[in-house]
A and B are shown apart, each in its own frame.
Chain A
C-alpha cells in the first residue's frame, strides 16, 4: 500500500479561512490595532525618550491607565481569538476526519493568526507613519527636541522595533492555543 505524502496548500486554506469570519476578523484587526497603538507608542516613547517615559509612568494615574488599557486589550484580543477558534472547531474536526494531520491543523491556525497580526500591524505601521508625519512638530515639541528628518526616522525605527517584539509575544500566545484546539477529538466535535 502506497502512502501519498503531498503537502496541504496551507496558503489557500489560510486565506479562505481568514476571510470566512469577516466580523470576527475586522473586530480582531481593530482590537489589535488599538492595543498596538497604546503599547507600541508607549514602548517607542521609552526607546526614544526614556526620561519622559519614566516621568509619565511615575504618575500613578498614567501608570494605572497604561496597565489597564494593556490588560483590557490583551484579554479582549485573546478572548476573540479563542472564540474564533471555537467557532471553527467543527471545520477543523472536518479537516481532521478528511485526513489532515494534527500538525497541519496547528500550522493552519498559526498561519491564519500570523496573517491577521501581519495585516493589523502593517496597517498600524502605515497609520503611525502618517501620524508621525502630520504631528511631527507637536511630537518634537512634546519631546522638547528640534524637529528634523532624523527625528522622524528614529521614531519610525523605534516603532518598528516595538512592533517586532509584540509580534513575537503574540505568536508565543497563539501557539499553545493552536495546539490545544488541534488536539481535540475531531469526531466528537463533528458528531455532537
Chain B
C-alpha cells in the first residue's frame, strides 16, 4: 500500500448551501500502479486529485502515504511532500514563456537544490530530455514547440524532481489523437519503470490504457471497471 484514503469527504460551502463533492472515498493506491478515474464533469475526479496532491484539504476522513498520516499536516509539511514525492501534470499548458525549455524544466528544482551550478543532478535532467526527445529543443522558447512537444516538456518538468507518484489531470487535454497516443505511450513507459500514476480523464479510450479504472459518480467510487 502506498496511498490509503479512508472515508474521504469533501464539501464546499456556497452561501447557505453546502455541496458534498466527495461522499466518502475508500481507496488503496499501490506503489507502481496506474490508475485512472473517469466520470462526468463535476463528479469529483479533480477534487480527489487535488486532495492527493495536498492542494485541497478533505472535510473529513484520513489520508495516509507510506503509513504516514497526512490529513493534519501543515502547509509547509505538505509542500515538502510535494517537493519530493509528487509530480503534477496539468490539463492546461502551463509554462513560463520567458524561460527556455531547459530552464522551464529545471524550475521545480529551484525549490530543493542550489541552481548555481552544483547541487542537482544535471545528468538526470539530460537523460529525461533524451528519453522524451527534447534535447534538440533545449534552447528554444516554449512557444516555438508543438502541442505534443509542450506536453512532453510538462511531463519532464513533473518528473525532474524524481517523484514517486505522478498525478495527471486530463494529460492529453486538447491534443489531437496522434499526440494523445504518444503521451499515453510515454505514461505507460514510465509506469513500467515503477512510477505510480493516477490519471483523471473523461476520455474512456484514454482511461482504458490504465491498469485499474474507477468510475466516479456523484462523489462516490461507483465502479471498478478494470
User: Chain A residues in contact with chain B, CB under 8 A?
Assistant: 1, 3-6, 8-9, 12-13, 16, 20-21, 90-91, 93-104, 185-187, 190-192
Pairwise interchain contact B114-A9, C-beta atoms closer than 8 A: yes
**Cβ contact of A190, chosen from B80, B90, B110, B112, cutoff 8 A:** B90
Interfacial chain A residues near B66, Cβ < 8 Å: 1
Measured CB to CB, the closest approach of chain B to A182, in angstroms, equals: 10
Stretch of B13-21, B48-56, B177-185, B205-213 at the chain-chain interface: B48-56
B193 sits at the interface (CB 8 A): no
**Cβ contact of B55, chosen from A9, A16, A101, A187, cutoff 8 A:** A187
**Cβ contact of B76, chosen from A94, A97, A101, cutoff 8 A:** A101
User: Chain B residues in contact with chain A, CB under 8 A?
Assistant: 46, 50, 53, 55-56, 65-68, 75-77, 79-84, 86, 88, 90-92, 94, 96, 98-99, 103, 107-108, 110-116, 161, 169
Measured CB to CB, the closest approach of chain B to A124, in angstroms, equals: 27
Pairwise interchain contact A13-B110, C-beta atoms closer than 8 A: yes
Pairwise interchain contact A99-B99, C-beta atoms closer than 8 A: no
Instruction: Count CB-based A-B contacts (< 8 Å).
Output: 95
Between B50, B55, B66, B68, the greatest number of chain A beta carbons within 10 A of the residue's beta carbon is seen for B55
7 A-B pairs with C-beta separation under 8 A:
A6-B113, A9-B113, A9-B116, A98-B88, A100-B111, A190-B90, A191-B92
Pairwise interchain contact A190-B77, C-beta atoms closer than 8 A: no
Pairwise interchain contact A12-B110, C-beta atoms closer than 8 A: yes
Interfacial chain B residues near A91, Cβ < 8 Å: 96
Instruction: Report the Cα distance A4→B111, complex, angstroms.
Output: 11
| B112 nearest CB neighbor, chain A only | A6
Instruction: Report the Cα distance A93→B90, complex, angstroms.
Output: 11
Instruction: Report the Cα distance A9→B114, complex, angstroms.
Output: 6
| A95 nearest CB neighbor, chain B only | B111
Interfacial chain B residues near A185, Cβ < 8 Å: 55
Pairwise interchain contact B110-A3, C-beta atoms closer than 8 A: no
**Cβ contact of B83, chosen from A12, A99, A186, A192, cutoff 8 A:** A99
Pairwise interchain contact B98-A20, C-beta atoms closer than 8 A: yes
Pairwise interchain contact B111-A3, C-beta atoms closer than 8 A: no
Between A16, A97, A185, A191, the greatest number of chain B beta carbons within 10 A of the residue's beta carbon is seen for A97
Instruction: Report the Cα distance A1→B83, complex, angstroms.
Output: 13
Pairwise interchain contact A99-B79, C-beta atoms closer than 8 A: yes
Pairwise interchain contact B96-A102, C-beta atoms closer than 8 A: no
Pairwise interchain contact A9-B83, C-beta atoms closer than 8 A: no
With contacts A1-B68, A191-B91, A191-B92 taken as known, whether A99 is within 8 angstroms of B161 at the C-beta atoms is yes
Between B67, B84, B116, the greatest number of chain A beta carbons within 10 A of the residue's beta carbon is seen for B84
Pairwise interchain contact A99-B84, C-beta atoms closer than 8 A: yes
Instruction: Report the Cα distance A5→B110, complex, angstroms.
Output: 13
Pairwise interchain contact B98-A4, C-beta atoms closer than 8 A: no
Measured CB to CB, the closest approach of chain B to A21, in angstroms, equals: 7
Besides A9-B114, A98-B111, A99-B111, 15 new A-B residue pairs in contact (Cβ under 8 A), listed by A number: A1-B65, A3-B80, A3-B81, A4-B83, A8-B110, A9-B110, A12-B116, A20-B98, A94-B96, A99-B84, A100-B79, A100-B83, A187-B56, A191-B90, A191-B92
**Cβ contact of A4, chosen from B50, B84, B96, B103, cutoff 8 A:** B84
With contacts A4-B112, A104-B111, A190-B94 taken as known, whether A97 is within 8 angstroms of B88 at the C-beta atoms is yes
| A94 nearest CB neighbor, chain B only | B94
Instruction: Report the Cα distance A1→B31, complex, angstroms.
Output: 15
Measured CB to CB, the closest approach of chain A to B122, in angstroms, equals: 15
Between A13, A95, A101, A104, the greatest number of chain B beta carbons within 10 A of the residue's beta carbon is seen for A101
Interfacial chain A residues near B82, Cβ < 8 Å: 97-99
With contacts A12-B115, A101-B75 taken as known, whether A4 is within 8 angstroms of B110 at the C-beta atoms is no
